[in-house]
Amino acid sequence: MLTKLTVSNYALIHELSVEFPSGLNMVTGETGAGKSIILGALGLILGNRADVSSLKNKYEKCVVEGIFEIKNYSLEHFFKENDLDYDAVTILRREIVPSGKSRAFINDTPVNLKVMQELGLKLIDIHSQHQNLELVNQKYQLNVIDVVSGSFKIFDGYKSQFSAVVNLKKQLSELVKKSEKANSDLDYYQFQFNQLEEAKLNKNEQEELEIELEKLVHAEEIKTNLQEILALLDNEQFSVIQNIKDTQRIFGKIQNFIPEAPGLSQRLQNIVFELRDIREETEQLAEKTEHNPDKIELINNRLNLIYSLQQKHRVSTVNELIELKNTLEAQINKAVGYSNEINSVENELKTNLLELKKRADILTESRKKVFPYVEKMVVDVLRQLGIEKAKFIITHETLPEFTQTGQDSVSFLFSANTDTQPVEISKIASGGEMSRLMLAIKNLLRNSKSLPTVIFDEIDTGISGEVAIKMGNILKTFSTSTQIINITHLPQIAAKGDTHFLVYKYDENGKTYTSIRQLNKNERIDELAKMVGGNEITDTTLKTAKELIGK
């Protein structure tokens, strides 16, 4: 609950600090005194938008700080999830600097506004005339049912399953798109692949063919030169080999005279062996080398095929063509493989849809069980609040599709008269009836931990007299489990408070300010007397004020 609110330099507020106890806190003040300003300041620590125009002094920063007791509201997980230090007494602070920048803090740790807003919604529920519009929202109505039924664990299980189904549907949709695209390209891939496959390409064959073609094209020139080499190495007129052998023989004549001769002779012998090997290999090359037009044509055709494929696919090597063929083969296999993958996901989706339907049915059953209880409790409160012929009915419709909130659509139907059939609230309820309906709904939720602090901003619009007293009694009962801060203009309701605060204006140094203070017993009686009869307090209005407090 909210234990303390401190505000500085906001709108007409210079400095104020107010402590709110548990129970029923009443806030009163003349029209224009600044009650809405205090609510606006409070809204800043609940994540509302900040505006530099709200600064009272344009050269100083605005600070709004709220202290909350949160030990009973199971918020540890929220703090852990957002990497915040948990404290049973938690401080929310918002600062607006003259430049217009805004900063938010939770227990002195800077946070972004979204985190502050999420925590603020868990701590305070501000009810205003604007919020009455939520009552006609079917999502809000469904949430009311879930709070009363305590279906949140079931709901969490449903949401988890719904998320799994959504993800599978998305996965299936993407697979189908990929499959359709792959199938549309399949003929093209297959044609390209077949052309490369039929070419039966081998790694490095282009280089080998180009070398062989060079040999065949220059066969006669090669053979002539090889034969000339053979003649130089060994023929009758001049023989390199024979000359070296003769040189070796001459070294033999002088080997007894110089010690180097045998070594030189042996080296010449090795040369002779090497030259004979060279001669034999040259003879083999000469025999193999021949002009072959048929083979030249065959190789040219093969190379032309390779060159055309390279040009078509904008590559420069056979290895790149082979890589392309492998890629095309993978694309073809992938396109074919999508069918199996799609079938697998479709089967998984069917299984998950059956589980989702099962959880949706359990959620529906849990919700429908509390319809009679909600209807009865709301009607009881409405009758206490002067709508004696009130009818309140909850209708249910099963949606054709699963949604994030289940397969249920609920509508709150209302009628204030005997001869009028209940219809949707937005079509019949007046402003006063809407306020009373919302109070009945909020009262229904008071035992849940979803409402630690509720602020009612003139929920008594459109009522008076005995009905106002009854509304005050309901607020009183409500406050036994929830901290209530109620802004009112009705003395009958203000008199029901455990604590009474007055919002007022004052002048200082030629400037007007707004502030709030807690009233003591006598001040409270005087304030109620003013609310009953105007600013002039009389014995009659004082007596009435005391009687209202005594009721």
Q: What is the pLDDT of residues 352-385, one digit of tens each?
A: 999 999 999 999 999 999 999 999 999 999 988 8
pLDDT tens per residue, range 504-549: 999 988 889 999 999 999 999 999 999 998 878 889 999 999 988 8
| 234 DSSP assignment | S
**Backbone angles phi and psi of 62, in degrees to 5:** -100, 135
pLDDT at 396 over 70: yes
Distance CA(158)–CA(155), nearest Å, equals 5
- Asked whether the predicted pLDDT for residue 277 surpasses 60, the reply is yes
Tell me the per-residue pLDDT of 331-344, one tens digit each, with 9 for 90 and over: 777 766 677 888 99
| CA-wise closest residue to 194 among 301, 337, 315, 332 | 332
Mean pLDDT of the chain: 87
Confidence label for 199 from pLDDT (cuts 50, 70 and 90)? confident
What mean pLDDT comes out for the span 39-63? 87
Q: Give yes or no for a contact between 164 and 352, defined as CB atoms under 8 angstroms apart.
A: yes
The pLDDT assigned to 448 comes to 60
Say which range, 288-297, 307-316, 443-452, has the weakest mean pLDDT.
443-452
Which pLDDT does position 447 carry in this prediction?
Answer: 62
The per-residue pLDDT for 337 is 67
pLDDT at site 187: 73
The mean pLDDT value for 237-246 works out to: 83
pLDDT at 130 over 60: no
* 2-127+438-516: CATH class: alpha beta
Q: Is the pLDDT of residue 429 over 70?
A: no
CATH 3.40.50.300 segments of the chain: 2-127+438-516
Q: Is the pLDDT of residue 398 over 90?
A: yes
Least confident of 72-81, 382-391, 446-455, 485-494: 446-455
Contact between residue 50 and residue 44 where contact means Cβ atoms under 8 Å apart? yes
Mean local confidence (pLDDT), 115-122: 90
Least confident range from 21-25, 205-209, 392-396, 443-447: namely 443-447
Q: Is the pLDDT of residue 165 over 60?
A: yes
What pLDDT, on a 0 to 100 scale, did the predictor assign at position 355? 96
Q: What is the pLDDT of residue 434?
A: 80
C-alpha neighbours within 13 Å on the C-beta side of residue 429? 25
The mean per-residue pLDDT over the stretch 222-241 comes to 81
Q: What is the pLDDT of residues 14-38, one digit of tens each?
A: 999 999 999 999 999 988 888 888 9
pLDDT at 182 over 80: no
Element (H, E) at 210: helix 205-217
Average pLDDT over residues 118-145: 79
pLDDT at 132 over 60: no
Percent of the chain exceeding pLDDT 90 equals: 38
pLDDT at 449 over 60: no
Q: Is 361 left (phi over 0), alpha (psi -120 to 50) or beta?
A: alpha
> Is residue 276 over pLDDT 70?
yes
Report whether 483 contacts 25 (CB < 8 A): yes
The answer on pLDDT for 162 being more than 60 is yes
pLDDT at 40 over 70: yes
DSSP H or E run through 397: strand 391-403
Per-residue pLDDT, 349: 95
Residue 497 CB neighbour total at 10 angstroms: 25
Find tokens 């979204």 and name the residue: 114
Where is 378: in which H helix or E strand? helix 371-384
Strand partners, 103: 95
| Interval 75-79 mean pLDDT | 90
Q: Are 291 and 220 in contact (CB under 8 A)?
A: yes
| Percentage helix, strand, coil for the chain under 3-state DSSP, each rounded to 5 | 55, 20, 25
Buried b (16+ CB within 10 A) or exposed e, 277-286: eebeebeeeb
Question: 439 near 377, Cβ under 8 Å?
Answer: no
pLDDT of res. 520: 94
pLDDT at 517: 94
**pLDDT for 487:** 92
More confident of the two residues 206 and 397: 397
Contact criterion met (CB below 8 Å) for 420 and 427: no
